[in-house]
């Protein structure tokens, strides 16, 4: 890999000498944190290849869209954004347009780009990420298009360069792929089977990040609960990360309810650095639909683990994902979901209208409810959750919350903002030197989707 990076760096240095300006890259990483984390590696490789980063795709020498396949609207947006580059490529035929990530791992999508988007130069799926330098080298050295869709079983490639998005919060991938085959989901097809990183490499990365001043580490995987490296399972890994000396906090996502054990809850309760917040996507409140989704748990089991966590972890909060309009879902199923949402008292919800994904089991299920009705159900769910969230925000007034300060607040000079363990935005009077520090805030107000307060004396 290094040889190809070096070749491209020399190629770019020659361009710099000729034109007087450094070749530029524009990248955009769509979708989940896992994809954003892959994107930090793409950016890392581009930086080592000698590219400077620019803000606009139409001005760049290379554009990389790192795509997402989870829902159709994400794919539509990407088709639109790639189509918009046609004129820029016409103006600058040397521009390289590249696509990678989950969406293009699907054969029918890769074929569409091959046939209908002749100005797309390189295309590769998530498993070919470490091959990116070689793919780009082939494009630059021969001028021909390079499409590389490997089977999604790739070995984990350690030691890829990383250009991190922030200097306070960092993502650490601990595993790749998914074995669960929820019937609506394309992820197992495009990202392949579960592979866990060696725990020693995860710990090294966490130690380096803490030493570099990062204050929040998020361990990432499609299903972190099934992490395993030798004798070390997810709970073991969390305890080891928690033992790293320093002032920082630990998050993880995503946790699958079927594998979220009491042992994990005990671990969160006992480890001081792990946030008392769990994102535990339930998807539906109807046991019939959960079964159709192949989720592997019932609402009863889900409520049990949430109940246990509430007992064991002081102040614990929950967030969740919901899919509305899964094939065959009825009004009665929806009402069960609404009842569950009320009962769970989530801090916030990520709600999605079901999107049919080619090749998944649910794609072949009868889906009689019209989109319009699904949209009405979706709005109904949002309203229910908005009322719950509003009540929870208002209930926080008068309490004290611990916040990691991230940067300037929206209210202008003299204000800073940060987030609580449950990811709630809090704004308070403060100055720039608080950035990266933990502060205790006495909450005085709940304006909209944030809290406001003052640093506790």
Residue 256 contacts which entry, ligand 5AD, ligand SF4, none (Cβ below 5-8 A, type-dependent):
ligand SF4
| Separation CA 54–CA 40 (nearest Å) | 15
Question: Quick check: 27 binds ligand SF4 (CB under 6 A)?
Answer: no
Q: Which is nearer to ligand 5AD, 70 or 122 (CB)?
A: 70
The neighbour count for residue 61, using CB atoms within 10 Å, is 19
Query: Helix axis angle, 199-211 relative to 234-242, nearest 10°?
Result: 30
Residue 178 contacts which entry, ligand SF4, ligand 5AD, none (Cβ below 5-8 A, type-dependent):
ligand SF4
| Separation CA 196–CA 209 (nearest Å) | 20
- Cα–chain center distance at 18: 40
Q: Taking CB positions, which residue lies at the least distance from ligand 5AD? A: 321
Interface with ligand 5AD (CB under 6 A), residue total 12
Question: Quick check: 416 binds ligand 5AD (CB under 6 A)?
Answer: no
Q: Which is nearer to ligand 5AD, 71 or 89 (CB)?
A: 71
The set of residues, in sequence order, having a beta carbon less than 8 Å from that of 334 and lying 6+ positions away, is 286, 324, 377, 380, 381
Residue 445 token pair: 């107000």
| Separation CA 336–CA 430 (nearest Å) | 45
Residue 128 contacts which entry, ligand 5AD, ligand SF4, none (Cβ below 5-8 A, type-dependent):
none
**Segment near ligand 5AD (CB under 6 A), from 93-101, 131-139, 354-362, 441-449?**
354-362
| Separation CA 234–CA 224 (nearest Å) | 7
The DSSP symbol for 366 reads: -
Task: Look at residue 170 and give its three-state secondary structure.
Answer: strand
* Region 299-338 residues binding ligand 5AD, contact defined as CB under 6 A: 321, 323
Question: Quick check: 295 binds ligand 5AD (CB under 6 A)?
Answer: no
* Region 85-144 residues binding ligand 5AD, contact defined as CB under 6 A: none
Helix extents (H) in 271-370:
287-292, 299-312, 331-344
Among residues 285, 338, 280, 357, which one has the least CA distance to residue 313?
280
Residue of 29, 41, 71, 139 that binds ligand 5AD (CB under 6 A): 71
Q: Which is nearer to ligand SF4, 284 or 336 (CB)?
A: 284
| Separation CA 186–CA 359 (nearest Å) | 8
Residue of 184, 252, 302, 378 that binds ligand 5AD (CB under 6 A): 184
Interface with ligand SF4 (CB under 6 A), residue total 10
State in angstroms the smallest separation of the CB of 182 from ligand 5AD. Answer: 7
* Region 183-242 residues binding ligand SF4, contact defined as CB under 6 A: 185, 187-188, 222-223
Task: Look at residue 227 and give its three-state secondary structure.
Answer: coil
State in angstroms the smallest separation of the CB of 121 from ligand 5AD. Answer: 29
Among residues 110, 289, 96, which one has the least CA distance to residue 182?
289
Question: Quick check: 283 binds ligand 5AD (CB under 6 A)?
Answer: yes
Residue of 62, 64, 70, 250 that binds ligand 5AD (CB under 6 A): 70
State in angstroms the smallest separation of the CB of 162 from ligand SF4. Answer: 23
The two beta strands, 348-353 and 317-324, are parallel
Among residues 20, 19, 40, 16, which one has the least CA distance to residue 28?
40
State in angstroms the smallest separation of the CB of 222 from ligand SF4. Answer: 4
| Separation CA 104–CA 97 (nearest Å) | 14
Q: What are the angstrom distances between the C-alpha of 396 and each of 117, 190, 212, 225, 315?
A: 51, 41, 33, 31, 11
158 to 187: interface string for ligand SF4, x by CB under 6 A:
--------------------x-xxx--x-x
Partners of 97 in the beta sheet?
A: 63
Residue 69 contacts which entry, ligand 5AD, ligand SF4, none (Cβ below 5-8 A, type-dependent):
none
Contacting positions for ligand 5AD (CB under 6 A): 70-71, 184-185, 281, 283, 321, 323, 352, 354-355, 357
Contacting positions for ligand SF4 (CB under 6 A): 178, 180-182, 185, 187-188, 222-223, 256
């Amino acid at each position: 890999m290094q040889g190809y990076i070096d070749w491209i760096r020399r190629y770019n240095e020659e361009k710099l000498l000729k034109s007087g300006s450094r070749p530029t890259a524009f990248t955009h990483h769509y979708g989940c944190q896992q994809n954003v984390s892959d994107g930090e590696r793409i950016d890392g490789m581009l930086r080592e290849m000698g590219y400077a980063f620019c803000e606009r795709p139409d001005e760049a020498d290379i554009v990389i869209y790192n795509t997402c396949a989870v829902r159709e609207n994400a794919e539509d947006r990407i088709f639109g954004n790639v189509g918009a580059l046609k004129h820029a490529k016409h103006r600058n035929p040397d521009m390289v347009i590249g696509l990678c990530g989950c969406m293009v791992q699907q054969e029918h999508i890769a074929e569409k780009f091959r046939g209908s988007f002749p100005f797309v130069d390189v295309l590769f799926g998530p498993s070919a990420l470490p091959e990116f330098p070689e793919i780009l080298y082939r494009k630059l050295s021969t001028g021909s298009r390079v499409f590389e869709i490997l089977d999604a079983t790739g070995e984990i490639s350690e030691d890829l360069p990383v250009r991190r998005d922030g200097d306070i919060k960092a993502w650490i991938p601990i595993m790749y792929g998914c074995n669960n085959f929820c019937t609506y989901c394309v992820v197992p097809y495009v990202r392949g089977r579960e592979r866990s990183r060696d725990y020693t490499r995860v710990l090294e990365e966490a130690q380096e990040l803490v030493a570099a001043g990062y204050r929040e580490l998020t361990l990432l995987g499609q299903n972190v609960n099934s992490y395993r490296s030798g004798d070390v399972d997810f709970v073991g890994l969390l305890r080891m990360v928690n033992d790293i000396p320093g002032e920082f906090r630990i998050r993880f996502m995503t946790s699958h309810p079927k594998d979220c054990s009491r042992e994990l809850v005990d671990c969160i309760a006992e480890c001081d650095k792990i946030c008392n917040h769990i994102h535990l996507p339930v998807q539906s409140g109807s046991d019939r639909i959960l079964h159709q989704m192949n989720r592997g748990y019932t609402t009863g089991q889900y409520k049990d683990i949430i109940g246990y966590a509430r007992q064991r972890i002081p102040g614990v909060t929950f967030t969740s994902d919901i899919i509305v309009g899964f094939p065959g879902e009825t009004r009665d199923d929806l009402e069960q979901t609404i009842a569950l949402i009320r009962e769970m008292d989530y801090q916030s919800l990520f709600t999605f209208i079901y999107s049919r994904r080619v090749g998944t089991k649910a794609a072949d299920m009868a889906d009689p409810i019209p989109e319009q009705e699904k949209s009405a159900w979706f709005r109904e769910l949002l309203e229910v959750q908005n009322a719950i969230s509003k009540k929870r925000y208002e209930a926080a007034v008068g309490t004290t919350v611990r916040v990691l300060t991230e940067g300037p607040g929206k209210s202008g000079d003299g204000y800073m903002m940060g987030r609580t363990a449950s990811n709630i935005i809090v704004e308070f009077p403060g100055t720039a030197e608080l950035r990266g520090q933990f502060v205790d805030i006495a909450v005085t107000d709940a304006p909209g989707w944030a809290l406001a307060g003052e640093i506790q004396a």
